[in-house]
Structure 1
Amino acid sequence: MDLYHDAVQLLTQLIEIPSYSKEESSTAELIEEFFTARDIESHKSGNNVWAFASAFDNNKPTIWLNSHHDTVKPNAGYTKDPFHAITEDGKLFGLGSNDAGGPLVCLIAAFTYFHERDLPFNLIMIASAEEEISGKNGIASVIDQLPACELAIVGEPTLMDMAVAEKGLMVIDAKVHGKAGHAAREEGVNAIYAALEDLQRIKSFEFQKVSQFLGKTKVSATVIHAGQQHNVVPDLCEFVLDVRVTDAYSLEEAFEELKGSLSAELTPRSLRLQSSHVPKDHLILQVVEKLGLKTYGSPTLSDQALIPYPSVKIGPGDSARSHSADEYIYLNEIQQGIAGYIQLLETYANLLTQTT
């Protein structure tokens, strides 16, 4: 079984099949075919595909392996065909090669390695859809179809460092009301001026609680709109807030703290994308110590935000290459990713056996 060769071949095929979020049916079929060719039974719901490494045992804990097979659209800066897998100078180029094709095929390779081996835990591989848009038909749609897990290992490009915490995201629509009037006669109450007071507060606003791994929760005003014509005092000013929430808060708690400091009418678009952190007594942290892995708190979103169980994020590739023109992953990063995931799971299995 040549895990590396199979992983590179699968990644090459994935690159050459367009799989924008909500349009991943062909890559879902490819992943199904990969499992079928290796006599691994798989399941599909929407464009999400999953498989069990062996018969499920209710007496064992469960570990999820998860990464996504959707991509963003290529940006205008590409000089290479984003759907042509090209190998140059030890790099494999192509859209989704780094985010998250590389981590995905390495997780699948590790899963294949452990298939039908005797493990002290159930192992499930989940290739999810719509991760790039945190879509409702992605991993969130299959959580209820899967057994609960004690740990989810989420494959994203992290240089094989381990994110043990991840910021959540809350987008808030804000409205400030005034009173319309003729600009020349100094009538009305200008909603723009009223909104300025809130915007000044937002500019200097600091949330009270600070996270050990993720630092401060941050709010930024990112969009603003008011008025329709030059001679009418606007009676409404609308703006959008982007709030990156650490594990020190739930989204609901962060919203209430912010709401108490502003006069605008605030409405969160969603409370789905929660922050996460690994409990301090979780076995994965003993694995981290034993393997000498570097840990950090991630400012970027992944399917971790939608998984309601303890999770970590780790994988080959570099987050800085994600969504960039001429995206690539080093071939030796794929080798290291496969070996790293296998070592991670073997170490977890050994420690789990020692503690039970």
Structure 2
Amino acid sequence: MDYKSLSNSAIELLKQLIATQSFSGEEAAVADLMNGYLTARGIKTERYLNNVWAVNEDFDASKPTVLLNSHLDTVRPNTGYTRNPFDPTVEGDKLYGLGSNDAGGCLVSLAATFVHFYHQKGMKYNVAFAATAEEENSGKNGLECLLPKLPPVSFAIVGEPTQMQLAVAEKGLMVLDCVAHGKSGHAARNEGVNAIFKAMKDIEWFNTYRFPEASEFLGEVKMSVTMINAGTQHNVVPDRCSFVVDVRLTDTYTLEEVYETIKQQVTSDVTCRSMRLRPSKIEVSHPIVQAGLALGRTTYGSPTTSDQALVDAPSLKLGPGDSARSHTADEFVHLSEIHEGVELYIRMLEKVIL
């Protein structure tokens, strides 16, 4: 098995992706690059918006399908960059560039893995590959709109930087818009009901309340008040104070259960923006997890949210790179991580699908 030639081709693709701007919603050019990489290797591709996907050559609708997915888009570079974020530079074992770690290394490693299995005959599973858009902004024109066009997914590997360890659970996300109501009055007189003080009581509840059940891999539900706004001028008691709460959910509670508890406990009006990004979990007994454990990998729960939340099937978050480098200045991935990633993806899948 020539893993190195596969991973070397993946690295060259990653350099091209880094050099091509691909902010969320602006992935057309990198989708072209991914499509070209696959078609140059004899793979028949499909495209919808800025999403590129394919299934193995010997696809059989009677067999279950494993989905290999990662995202094409990047965040915008922050002001801390000392390098050109679009210049793929190799120094020693490091490849620098925007999106190199999140999630370019995962994306190209999964693409190379798909190339390896594309022509394979007689597999127990079909293999589908999807390079998708709008992950970083949780947009609806990425994996969410593509999933109905794909074959039914039996299980998925979602490529995000995990140091090739097995993220068997992932926190969900719920964003709440809260409004505390008071009564306006003149600040110089004892008039009105200050909405800020009413909001403060609810904010203190969010800061101190603990949901009683904790998750084995994800720990506790975490609620963080991240934005607040009130008042129109200095001498008017505000009758309205709005604030935003970031809620990270575990597999212990449904989003609906957490939402109802919050509404019962606070006096502010609470509106949930979306319930799309649900917590994810795959059983440790699942064959793909067992394959990783047999190859010396370890399991953990991921605090970050990804497109894994959109997959209505068991899914494993797994990929080269380190989540701690994501969205940081002078982002990089180790070339050795990509070499390791391609080999481990292939060896794990071989234990399950062949």
TM-score bin, normalised by smaller chain: over 0.9
Which blocks of at least 5 consecutive residues in structure 1 are unaligned?
A: 351-356
What is the rounded CA distance, in whole Å, between the counterparts of 2:115 and 2:284 in structure 1?
30
CA distance in 1, matches of 2:258, 2:252: 9
Establish whether residue 6 from structure 1 lines up as the match of residue 9 from structure 2.
Answer: yes
Q: CA deviation at 1:324?
A: 0.8
Give the equivalent residue in structure 2 for 1:166.
170
What secondary structure, in the 3-state scheme, does the structure 2 residue paired with 1:334 have? helix
Give the drift of 1:220: 1.1
Output the amino acid matched with 1:159: Q
- Which segments of structure 1 move beyond 4 Å, counting only runs of 4 or more? none
Which shifted more, 285-294 or 250-259?
A: 285-294
Cα contact 1:157–1:314 (8 A) shared by 2: yes
* Letter paired with 1:6: S
2:309 equivalent to 1:305:
yes
Counterpart mapping for 1:1-356 below 5 A: 2-118=5-121, 119-279=123-283, 281-349=285-353
TM-score (normalised: structure 1) = 0.96
Could you tell me how far apart the structure 2 residues matched to 1:60 and 1:149 are? 10
How far the C-alpha of 1:292 sits from its partner, in A, is 2.9
Q: Give me the identity figure in percent.
A: 52
Structure 2 distance, partners of 1:4, 1:191, is 58
Distance apart, 1:167 and its partner CA: 0.2
User: Aligned-pair distance for 1:284?
Assistant: 2.3
| Alpha-carbon distance, 1:288 to partner | 3.2
Contact 2:183 2:193 in 1 (8 A): yes
Name the CA distance, whole Å, in 1 between partners of 2:36 and 2:88. Answer: 20
Which one-letter code corresponds to 2:289 in the other structure? L
Q: Distance in 1 between matches of 2:45 and 2:76?
A: 28
- Shift of residue 280 of structure 1? 5.2
8 Å CA contact retained: 1:48, 1:126: yes
CA deviation digits over 1:194-217, x for unaligned, max 9?
112111211111112211110000
**Local SS of the residue matching 1:211:** coil
Shift of residue 281 of structure 1? Answer: 4.5
3-state SS of paired residue (1:292): coil
In 2, Cα distance between the equivalents of 1:184 and 1:261?
A: 32
Distance 1:184 1:128 in 2: 57
Provide the residue aligned with 1:354 in structure 2. Answer: none
Distance in 2 (CA, whole Å) between partners of 1:289 and 1:318 is 19
CA distance, structure 2, for counterparts of residue 37 and residue 287 of structure 1: 31
- Unaligned runs of 5+ residues in structure 2 are none
Is contact 1:207–1:257 with CA below 8 Å preserved after alignment? no
Amino acid in structure 2 at the alignment position of 1:12: K
CA distance in 2, matches of 1:223, 1:331: 39
- RMSD in angstroms over aligned alpha carbons? 1.2
Deviation at 1:8, TM superposition (A): 1.1
2-structure distance, mates of 1:278, 1:289: 14
- Distance in 1 of aligned mates of 2:293 and 2:32: 38
1:92 to partner: Cα distance? 0.7
Secondary structure at 1:187's aligned position in 2? coil
Matched positions, count: 350
TM-score by length of 2: 0.96
Cα distance per residue 1:261-281 (max 9 Å; x no partner): 111110001111111101354
8 Å CA contact 1:47–1:129 kept in 2: the answer is yes
Are 1:54 and 1:123, in contact at CA under 8 Å, matched by a contact in 2? no
